[in-house]
């Protein structure tokens, strides 16, 4: 593992530490854990995560700029097809599993299996396959799959108070952000705080998930090409160090937010895997790899080409590495299900997809999928 | 005519099957009398046995309503299923005018059940109704969304009834090994129950009978063995007041003045628990 990757791994420790602390606490003193986390849930899930999605959007935009690591869009077709196929496979497997039983309340949970934990998938592919086309392939898959999930949860009615003031505030928030950006202030906070606050309430009153509220203002913020992939957890230097860049302002707060997110949402009392947990697990670990491989196979027959350094062995590892839903799965679960046992089942399912890491490692080792030294 | 014959046959069969059918309740004329069943909707012989026992007890203890604690129908929910898994086993009670009020469980399909007239849900996942000095609050514990939470608080606040009884599927307290206490749900609901003077809570989900020692002034019952049984599933703890996990069961309850009398009855008619809950003064 090279230095950058080690550094990224160390920086990403907040999430597993938060999740481990949550699991430990919730199973030792459940009542105090749930009392504290239910008090924190709104601030973390609906407000804090808005900064995470803003930063991720900025990283994606910068990576797709000329000079960015994902700029070569001619190669993007296959990962997009793979993402759509994998997501369709995951949703199909989830729905089939739910419909085979009688717990119809679970049917609304299909957006959960759209989730790919991009950080985990990127890290796994870098370690198991190495440099080459596999990492950008996985990043694009994660972006597309999670975007499908985000659109799906956005369509879920959030506040139940939909009126004209929500869309109006979104328009005003966008206009204010553009205007403040044109003032060319040194810091990024005025756009984020003023425009972001208006957008947040606009999303809330429109019935959209408010954690996505900062995404529309990100394109108006200053940016420069990004050479690290999104999800890499590696802090980009250069122009990104400027106070006027969102990464400079948000990188550290977002790491804290991700720790809190894992802590608040990963705590479940272990009673075994119930049907909802199985449905998420089957969707992610069976449906997604199958859908991904079928979609890629059909695409290759139709004339699309694999990126350099990626063959079928690597594709198998990629399809398994992208089966881990973890953080995004937890987020989608909290977005689609209200407090209660159904949400707990979905969370257990999202956590159990961490098993994809072990499977991917085992398969990667068995297939000798490494193409170059990392 | 056919219905009358069926009811008579079931009643006779119930009377023959029932070994004891002792009613350990005061059975006062003006009291509120009801039965509680949970996790019953299997359509198999266990549910039919419970239906017969309930019918047999109804002749001695004429309860006017049955609270259903969720998982009212397992598996498919076609019109034929409603007949097989609900109407036939409880036909004598339905014919006697007993009204059933259902809560949703994780196996229930709300698209089919909310507007099923015999469940009296009025198209709502959560609702409230009253009998004399007792108000019942029926909660959908599958998904406690902000709207439902606000409704619970408003409904409890607006109630001036002597007795406030909540029921829903997932137990806030349970010593069932399979599911156990739903602590996240407890943290959400219990403060409201305590603040607004809820007296008694009934749940199902764990396929056993259990009575918990009063928790923060509230008595909790788990009655989830109305058609399914997890034999030996209770792991007794400090909070267990009584438990029965050897056969299917249902409950009979009578509210009279400041006292609530309860009796848990097994599939063969034996009384497996009984007692009284005295209404505590409101905070």
- Quick: pLDDT tens for A158-196: 545 567 888 899 999 888 888 887 777 767 778 888 888
pLDDT of amino acid B106: 94
> In chain B, how long is the greatest CA-to-CA distance?
53
Mean pLDDT by 10 residues, chain B (283 residues): 48 49 85 97 96 95 97 95 97 97 96 95 97 97 94 97 97 95 95 96 97 96 97 95 97 97 96 94 66
What whole-number distance in Å separates Cα of residue B102 and Cα of residue B39?
11
Predicted confidence band at A220 (pLDDT cuts at 50, 70, 90)?
confident
Binding-site residues on chain B for chain A (CB distance < 8 A): 74-77, 106-111, 141-148, 170, 178-188
Predicted confidence band at A198 (pLDDT cuts at 50, 70, 90)?
very high
Which of A26, A37, A102, A210 to mutate to probe the B interface, most B CBs <10 Å?
A: A102
What chain A residue is nearest to B177 in terms of C-alpha separation? A271
Taking contacts as CB-CB distances below 8 angstroms, the residues of chain A near B172 are none
B216: CATH: 3.60.21.10
Which of B82, B106, B111, B205 to mutate to probe the A interface, most A CBs <10 Å?
A: B106
- Is this complex's ipTM strictly greater than 0.90? no
How many Cβ pairs closer than 8 A exist between chain A and B? 74
Query: Are the Cβ atoms of A340 and B183 closer than 8 angstroms?
Result: no
- Across A321-338, average pLDDT: 93
- Across A33-57, average pLDDT: 91
Instruction: Establish if B78 belongs to a structural domain.
Output: yes
B168 Cβ neighbours under 8 A, 6+ residues apart: B69, B70, B103, B138, B139, B140, B141, B201, B203
Instruction: Establish if B216 belongs to a structural domain.
Output: yes
Domain total of chain B: 1
Instruction: Write the residue in A105, A275, A339 that is nearest to B184 by C-beta.
Output: A339
| HSE toward the beta carbon, residue B148, CA cutoff 13 A | 20
pLDDT of amino acid A373: 43
Query: Are the Cβ atoms of A343 and B143 closer than 8 angstroms?
Result: yes
Domain boundaries, position B126: 2-278
pLDDT of amino acid A64: 73
pLDDT of amino acid A193: 86
Domains and CATH numbers, chain A: 3-156+209-367 (1.20.1530.10)
Predicted confidence band at A254 (pLDDT cuts at 50, 70, 90)?
confident
Instruction: Establish if B283 belongs to a structural domain.
Output: no
Classify residue A236 by its DSSP letter: P
Query: Which of A66-75, A147-156, B36-45 has the weakest average pLDDT?
Result: A66-75
Backbone phi, then psi, for A68, in 5-degree steps? -80, 160
Which has the closest alpha carbon to A321: A91, A151, A71, A142? Answer: A142
DSSP for chain B reads -HHHHHHHHHHHHHHHH-S-----S---TTSEEEEEE-S-TT-SHHHHHHHHHHHHHHTTS--SEEEE-S--S-S---HHHHIIIIITTTHHHHHTTPEEEE---TT--HHHHTT-GGG--TT-SSEEEEETTEEEEE--TT-B-HHHHHHHHHHHHH---SEEEEE-SS-SS--BSSS---HHHHHHHHHHHHHTT--EEEE-SSSSEEEEPPBTTBEEEEE--SS---TT-B---TTEEEEE-SS-EEEEEEEETTEEEEEEEETTS-EEEEEEEEPPPP-
What whole-number distance in Å separates Cα of residue B43 and Cα of residue B66?
18
pLDDT of amino acid B114: 95
Classify residue A207 by its DSSP letter: T
pLDDT of amino acid A72: 61
Pairing of strands B209-212, B200-203: unpaired
Instruction: Write the residue in B74, B146, B187 that is nearest to A34 by C-beta.
Output: B187
pLDDT of amino acid A156: 67
Query: Are the Cβ atoms of A269 and B180 closer than 8 angstroms?
Result: yes
Query: Are the Cβ atoms of A342 and B180 closer than 8 angstroms?
Result: no
Least Cα separation, residue B8 to chain A (angstroms): 34
What chain B residue is nearest to A343 in terms of C-alpha separation? B143
Instruction: Establish if B59 belongs to a structural domain.
Output: yes
Instruction: Write the residue in B74, B170, B184 that is nearest to A102 by C-beta.
Output: B74
What whole-number distance in Å separates Cα of residue A105 and Cα of residue A97?
13
Query: Are the Cβ atoms of B143 and A338 closer than 8 angstroms?
Result: yes
Classify residue A165 by its DSSP letter: H
């Amino acid at each position: 593992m090279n230095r950058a990757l080690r550094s990224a791994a160390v920086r990403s420790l907040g999430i597993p530490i938060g999740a481990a602390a949550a699991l430990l606490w919730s199973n030792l003193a459940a009542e105090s854990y749930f009392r504290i986390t239910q008090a924190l849930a709104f601030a973390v899930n609906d407000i804090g995560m808005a900064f995470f999605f803003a930063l991720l959007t900025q990283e994606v935009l910068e990576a797709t700029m000329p000079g960015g690591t994902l700029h070569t869009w001619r190669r993007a077709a296959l990962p997009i097809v793979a993402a759509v196929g994998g997501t369709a496979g995951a949703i199909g497997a989830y729905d089939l599993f739910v419909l085979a039983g009688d717990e119809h309340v679970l049917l609304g949970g299909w957006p959960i299996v759209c989730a790919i934990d991009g950080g985990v998938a990127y890290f796994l592919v870098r370690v198991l396959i190495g440099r080459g086309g596999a990492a950008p392939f996985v990043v694009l898959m994660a972006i597309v799959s999670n975007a499908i999930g985000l659109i799906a949860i956005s369509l879920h009615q959030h506040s139940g108070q939909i009126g004209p003031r929500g869309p109006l505030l979104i328009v005003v928030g966008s206009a204010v952000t553009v205007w403040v950006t044109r003032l060319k202030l040194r810091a990024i906070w005025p756009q984020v705080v003023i425009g972001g606050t208006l957008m947040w309430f606009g999303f809330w009153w429109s019935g959209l998930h408010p954690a996505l509220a900062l995404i529309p203002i990100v394109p108006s913020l200053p940016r420069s090409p990004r050479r690290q992939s999104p999800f890499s957890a590696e802090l980009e230097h250069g122009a990104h160090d400027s106070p006027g860049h969102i990464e400079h302002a948000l990188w550290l707060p977002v790491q804290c937010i991700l720790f809190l997110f894992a802590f608040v949402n990963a705590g479940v009392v272990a009673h075994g895997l119930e049907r909802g947990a199985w449905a998420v697990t089957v969707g992610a670990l069976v449906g997604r790899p199958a859908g991904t491989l079928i979609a890629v196979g059909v695409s290759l027959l139709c004339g699309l080409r694999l990126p350099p350094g990626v063959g079928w062995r690597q594709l198998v590892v990629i399809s398994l590495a992208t089966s881990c839903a973890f953080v995004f799965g937890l987020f989608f679960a909290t977005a689609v299900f209200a407090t209660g046992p159904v949400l707990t089942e979905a969370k257990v399912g999202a956590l159990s997809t961490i098993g994809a890491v072990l499977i991917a490692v085992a398969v990667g080792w068995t297939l000798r999928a490494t193409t170059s030294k990392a | 005519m056919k219905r009358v014959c069926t009811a008579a046959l079931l009643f006779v069969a119930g009377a023959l099957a029932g070994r004891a059918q002792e009613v350990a309740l005061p059975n006062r004329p003006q009291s509120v009398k009801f039965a509680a069943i949970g996790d019953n909707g299997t359509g198999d012989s266990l549910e039919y046995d419970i239906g017969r026992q309930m019918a047999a007890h109804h002749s001695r203890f004429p309860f006017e309503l049955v609270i259903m604690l969720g998982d009212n129908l397992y598996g498919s929910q076609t019109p034929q299923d409603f007949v097989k898994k609900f109407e036939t086993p409880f036909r004598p009670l339905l014919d006697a005018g007993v009204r059933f009020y259902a809560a949703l469980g994780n196996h229930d399909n709300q698209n089919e059940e909310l507007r099923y007239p015999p469940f009296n849900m009025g198209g709502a996942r959560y609702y409230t109704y009253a009998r004399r000095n007792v108000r019942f609050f029926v909660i959908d514990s599958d998904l406690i969304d902000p709207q439902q939470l606000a409704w619970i608080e408003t409904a409890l606040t607006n109630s001036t009834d002597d007795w406030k009884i909540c029921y829903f599927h997932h137990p806030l307290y349970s010593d069932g090994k399979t599911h156990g206490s739903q602590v996240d749900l407890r943290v959400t609901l219990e403060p409201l129950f305590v603040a607004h003077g809820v007296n008694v809570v009934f749940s199902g989900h764990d396929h056993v009978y259990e009575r918990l020692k009063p928790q923060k002034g509230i008595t909790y019952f788990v009655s989830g063995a109305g058609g399914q049984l997890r034999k030996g599933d209770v792991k007794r703890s400090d909070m267990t007041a009584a438990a029965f996990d050897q056969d299917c069961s249902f409950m009979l309850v009578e509210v009279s003045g400041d006292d609530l009398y309860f009796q848990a009855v097994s599939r063969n008619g034996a009384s497996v628990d009984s007692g009284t809950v005295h209404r505590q003064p409101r905070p």
